[in-house]
Each structure stands twice: as C-alpha cells, then as structure tokens.
Amino acid sequence: MAESKELALEIRGLSTGYQDRVVLRGVNWQVPRGTLAAIIGPNGGGKSTLLKTAVGLLKPFSYETLKLLGQSPQAARRRVAYLPQREEVDWGFPISVLEVVLQGRLVRKGWRGRPRREDYAASREALAFFGLEDLAQVQIGALSGGQRQRVFLARALVQEAELILLDEPAAGLDAKAQHELADLLVSLRDADKTIIAATHDLDCLTGCFDQVLALKGEVLAVGTPAEVLTEETLVELFARHFPKVGAGGEVTVHES
Amino acid sequence: MSLELILEPFQYAFMVRAFVGVSLVAIVAAVVGTFVVLKGLAFLGDAIAHTAFTGIAVGLLVGIGIHFSAFFFAVLTALGVVVLTRVSQVKNDTALAILFTGVFALGIVLLSTSPGYVGDLNSLLLGSVLAIQSREIALIGGFALLLLGVLALFLPQFVLVSFDPVGAEAAGFPVVFFQSLLLVLTAAAIVISIQAVGVVLVVALLTTPAAAAGLLTTKLKGQMLLAAVFGMISSLSGLYISYFWGAPPGATVVLVATLLFAVVLVVQRMRGLGGKTW
C-alpha cells in the first residue's frame, strides 16, 4: 500500500499496558515521515507505554495495525532509535562520549561489532554536528542533561535511524537547554528524520512541533499544536493542574 | 629481609603452584569483577559462590567432576536470576538470599554427614590453594584464557548492555543474551576461584580489587587492568604472609586486598574529591 510507505508510524486499534494492567485503549495514530511529533499527557497517561509498545519493548494486548516505517516493530528495529528515560541509563558507567556514539554502529552490527575506522569517522562527524567534539573523551556522566541528550541524538544519527523516539527528553533540563533541544529536533526533522517525543513539559510545543497527540488512557486529541492545545483539552488532560495559554500562543502548565 | 628469605617459599613446588594458581584466578576474578562492581552484582556473586559449593558437594558425592557440577549450579543460579528479574520485575534479593542460603545449607549437610568428606568441607569453605595440583593449574589457566578471550572479544557488547540496556533492546540488540553471557563468565570466574580462597571469601576477589581500581580511573579498560594488578599484588603478598604466619592463604590474600582498598581510598580522598586523573 503506497500510503503506508509514507508513514513513519501507523497505529490502529491498539490496546497495551503492563502484564495485567491496561494503560491504553483504542489508540489510532498516523505520523507521516519527516514529522516532528509530541505525545503529551499526565504522568501515567500512557506516553511511555505507547513509545515502548511501538519499539517492541512491551507486547500489546491487541491491535489492528502497528507499523514502523512500513514494517512490523521487530523488523524495523535497526532503523529506529529509542532514547530511554534518564533513570534507565547507567550514567556512572565508565564510558566516554565517543564510545557512546560508537554504539550507534554496534546496535546495527550486533554480534560482530568491532568498531572500524569509518565508524569512528562517522561518530566524530555526528559529535561535531551537535557541537560536542571537544567532549569526545569525557566520561558521559560528567556531562549536563542537555549535553547527554545531544550525545544520544548523535548516537541515533550514527545508527542511521530514520525514526527517533524520545521518552521525556526535556526532563531535568533548564529552559535554555530545552529550547536548544527543540532546535536540534527541528534540525533533525529537516534532515528528513521522523521525531516523536513524549513530554509532560509543554514549553515551546507550539513553535516547534508539527503534530501533537494528547494521551490519557486513550487519545483525547490529535492534530496540529493549535488544534490540540486548547484550554478544554488541557484541562481534561491535566485535571489537577492549571494550564495557561500565553499571548504568543505558548502554553505553560502550573501545579495547582 | 634477605634474598634467601624472599625466595624461601619458592623452594617448595607446592608454593610455586600456589603462586601461579592464585595469581591466575586473582587476575580473572578482578577483570570480570569490574563488571560485578559496576553493575552492583556483588550479592549475586556471593550467591553464585555458595550454590557452586553445593555443586561441588554433589559432584564429590555422586562422583562426577566437581568443576563441572560447580559450574552447572553456578550458571543455574546466574541464569535463574536473569529470568526472575525479567519475569517478576521486582527486586528479588530476598528471594535470592532465601534460595542460595538454603542450597548452601543443603551442601553443608550433605558433605558433613558423608563419612570421609568432612576435610573437604573445611578446604572448600576456606580454600586450599596449597594443595593445588599441576593438572588443576592447567585447567584454571585454560579457563582463564577462555574467559578473558570472550570478555575481550565482546567487550563493546558487554558495555552496551550494561550502560543502556533499554535503548539497546529497542534497537533490536540481543541484550538478554549478552547480559546472560556476562553472568556465565562471572559464574565461571567464581568456580575457578573457589579452590584458591574458598567459598566464603571468593566474592572479595571479584569486588575488592575492582572497587579499589574504580576509585582511581573513569576508564573501563584502565579499571580492569588496575584491578588485575591489585589482585596480583594481593595474592602474592597474601601468600607470603600466609607462608610466614601460617594463616590460611585465602584469608591473608583477602586481607591484603582489603588493606590495599583502604590505602587507595585514603590516598584518593587526600588528593581531593573528583581526584580521578586517569
């Protein structure tokens, strides 16, 4: 089907969750290639669950269609990069920034993964793209949150991933670092990558993202930021929080 | 100390064998132990040592090779833990403690009630490196080469599954396989180390030199190399002390390793926090 080739992510009738707990029901979502998309919603709303199901880390309960880049999640894996939440990575491990980026090649090679000269070259190039070349030999844990995100994005580039999924990439970043991250995601999108980021931080969503999925156990709304980020949807999403839409269209959520 | 005194232990063939044997296992344990320390698996290492003991007991009583039966029990423990963590998704150190002490107790009962094996019980618990035979050294040497070879061959893979298992699995990398292989290597390192220092102290060979090395470097290969050096120093000086004082060599080796760790810790603190320079 010609249409599904153009889709980076195609989900129809998906129900998923953990063991015997259903987290998401009846999810339909189509993300065209070259899109920068956000998944928003409260904690426990199913953002991570959706991402993990998409990359095959969680087995869905049922679905009509679940395709990444036109393939099954298993078949598409090496063309997909998933950046886990901060806590799932062992930042204290003695590994340098360059070694982390080289892993982008290792996941493609699997068993026989000795790095070659061209792998080093590609990794250094990716580091330079993100302005990290001076940090190549530094232990990863010594970097700031924003720099770590960039290292993982460099790894995704080296992996030649076409679809990049980020789980809470903005967590723990200050406002400046969040904006820098958003700019990088835009530049990756412009380099023909498809980016999907789960976030409960709404800063600068309107400015950067092409598509927003509002998730709270089910899909509450999907569309452009302007279509989704209405006061009505936001109140429904973050019942106990107080969303505010500013004059420039930017949205902030305050704890009540 | 005169040269004669230094060389004195070496006039005995059994001491020479002990030096070679204990150095081999100290190096392997320290290198493999670097991962044990980095991933916080010391408790699992202790559990593996204790179930391996029961494997040896069963091997002795049934009359099959003790290394084989010990390795079988050790690997069963290691892989059992992998399965448990993936299936139950809960912290299971309590379950592990119940299981391994139960299996260990069974081994003690089996050995101590079988006439003629009580001596083996003591040497297994405290080590019997002075009784090590050339054939056993050859076996340990072979295993040591195999372990270090596999570790070197798949080092980038082991690093990946230790650093970012979730991201790696999402990208289709065989994470479970390499995590399991790493634990099998750990189990094998423990089995070949039991004769040197005994069941009770074997986890020290895995963790103490590697932990001391970790205080001094942020490079994985540097930590492994340094751990191996610390392991060597500990085993050689431990054996000397044991020779002149008449204490069990397993205990003196571990004692030196612990002192070495303490010295490194003090030196590192004196150089100031964040004093990792290489």
- Token pair, residue A170, equals 């903005």
CA distance A208 to B148: 50
Chain A positions contacting chain B at CB under 8 Å are 52, 55-57, 74, 77-78, 80-84, 88-90, 92-96, 99-100, 102-103, 106-107, 110-111, 113-115, 139-140, 152, 159, 161, 165
pTM comes to 0.89
Tens-place pLDDT, residues A197-245: 998 766 666 678 899 999 999 999 999 988 888 888 888 888 755 555 5
Q: How far apart are CA B259 and CA B237, in angstroms?
A: 11
Residues in A touching B164 (Cβ below 8 Å)? 84, 88-90, 100, 103
B223 and A94: CB-CB below 8 Å? yes
Higher local confidence (pLDDT), A82 or A21: A82
Give tens-digit pLDDT for A131-180: 999 999 999 999 999 899 999 999 999 999 999 999 988 888 888 888 88
- How do residues A45-85 score in pLDDT, each as one tens digit? 899 999 999 999 999 999 999 999 999 988 999 899 999 99
Above 60 in pLDDT, residue A2?
Answer: no
- H or E segment to which residue A81 belongs: strand A80-83
Decide if A82 contacts A167 (C-beta within 8 A).
yes
In contact, B24 and B144? CB cutoff 8 Å: yes
Chain B residues with CB-CB distance to A94 below 8 A:
38, 214, 217-220, 222-223
B108-120 pLDDT, tens per residue?
A: 999 888 887 777 7
Q: Could you read off the pLDDT of A28-38 as tens digits, one per residue?
A: 999 999 999 99
Minimum Cα–Cα distance from A80: chain B residue: B171
Question: CA B99 → CA B53, B122, B181, distances in Å?
Answer: 14, 22, 22
With a CB cutoff of 8 Å and minimum separation 6, the contacts of B59 are B65, B66, B67, B68, B69, B70
Number of residues in chain A: 256
Average pLDDT, chain B: 88
**Mind listing the pLDDT tens digit for each residue in B28-73?**
999 999 999 999 888 889 999 999 999 999 998 888 888 889 999 9
Considering only CB atoms, which chain A residues are within 8 Å of B219? 94, 96
Of A233, A237, A135, A250, the C-alpha closest to A182 is A250
Show contacts of A55-59: CB within 8 Å, 24+ apart: A55/A80, A55/A82, A55/A165, A55/B170, A56/B170, A56/B172, A57/A82, A57/B166, A57/B169, A57/B170, A58/A16, A58/A17, A58/A18, A59/A16
pLDDT for position A174: 84
Q: Which residues of A touch B163 (CB under 8 A)?
A: 89-90, 93, 95, 100, 103, 140
* Cβ–Cβ below 8 Å for B156 and A77: no
Q: Could you tell me if A46 and A215 are in contact, meaning their C-beta atoms sit under 8 angstroms apart? A: yes
Return the pLDDT at B82: 78
pLDDT tens, position by position, B122-175: 888 888 888 888 888 999 999 999 999 999 999 999 999 999 999 999 998 999
Stretch B6-22: mean pLDDT: 87
Is the confidence at residue A111, as pLDDT, over 90? no
Q: What is the pLDDT of residue B28?
A: 95
Handedness of CA B143, B144, B147, B148 (dihedral sign): negative
Nearest to B156 among A78, A94, A115 (CB): A115
Among A2, A1, A3, A30, smallest CA distance to A14 is for: A30
Q: Which residues of A touch B156 (CB under 8 A)?
A: 99, 102-103, 106, 113-115
Check CB contact under 8 Å for A57 and B156.
no
Q: Which residue has the higher pLDDT, B82 or B43?
A: B43
Q: Model confidence at B190, in pLDDT bands (50, 70, 90)?
A: very high
Provide the pLDDT confidence category of residue A246 given band limits of 50, 70 and 90: low
Q: Closest approach of chain A CAs to the CA of B163, in angstroms?
A: 5
User: What pLDDT, on the 0 to 100 scale, is given for residue B228?
Assistant: 97
> What Rg value do the Cα atoms of chain A yield, rounded?
18
Q: Tokens 């892993």 map to which residue?
A: A103
Residue of A nearest to B214 (CA): A94
pLDDT value of residue B73: 92
pLDDT band at A1 (very low <50, low <70, confident <90, very high): very low
